[in-house]
Amino acid sequence: MADKPALLEHLSTKAIYDTTMNIPFPYSGADADWWLTKRIEHTRRQRKEVTFAIRDEGNLIGVVSADSFEPGTTHRAEIGYWLAQGYWGQGVMTDAVRAFVRYAFAELEVLRLTAHVLASNVASARVLEKNGFTAEGYLRKHFLKDGQLIDARYYGVLKDELA
């Protein structure tokens, strides 16, 4: 719960909203409370962590997760992530996704990871590609955002594809 101020600071940035699908704008205190409570309850129930904070000197600057994954129920998980705008282009998210992929394959016992990215989010696609994900499809008019149907790219990686 101590991360609430950082969530409000970073996720109130329109640029974060523009590059993600599930983060509302404007981002409110109620949104932060809901997400933090959901994460705490999920961890308590599952006993395996699926959401990790990215920190700089202890301060929350991003998240990487398999938010909807329920350990032990399936062989695959979808990952998502966001990073504070001031840290873009520095390799922070590439490194965080790399660590998460290793963790997911070793600890969550999944065989496949997937991710959707907005077609316009080239930087996010590069993060995935640098971590061994393969573009598996282009999904036309796949998401509804701000009353507009937008395209997405679908990525996947298999455990046995990574050394």
Q: For the chain, what is the domain count?
A: 1
The count of other CB atoms within 10 Å of the CB of residue 14 is 10
- Please answer whether residues 64 and 53 qualify as being in contact, where contact means their C-beta atoms are separated by less than 8 angstroms: no
Q: What is the pLDDT of residues 56-97, one digit of tens each?
A: 999 999 999 997 787 778 899 999 999 999 999 999 999 999
Give the angle 30-117-10 at the CA atoms, nearest 5°: 35
* Spatial contact of 13 and 83, defined as CB atoms under 8 Å apart: no
Q: What b-and-e string marks burial along 45-58, b requiring 16 or more CB atoms within 10 Å of the CB?
A: eeeeebbbbbeeee
Q: Which residues pair with 155 in a beta bridge?
A: 115, 135
pLDDT given at position 163: 64
Q: Which residues of the chain have pLDDT under 50?
A: none
pLDDT (0 to 100) of residue 67: 79
Dihedral sign for Cα 145, 147, 148, 149, please.
positive
Domain residues for the domain of 76 are: 4-161
Q: What is the CATH number of the domain that holds 146?
A: 3.40.630.30
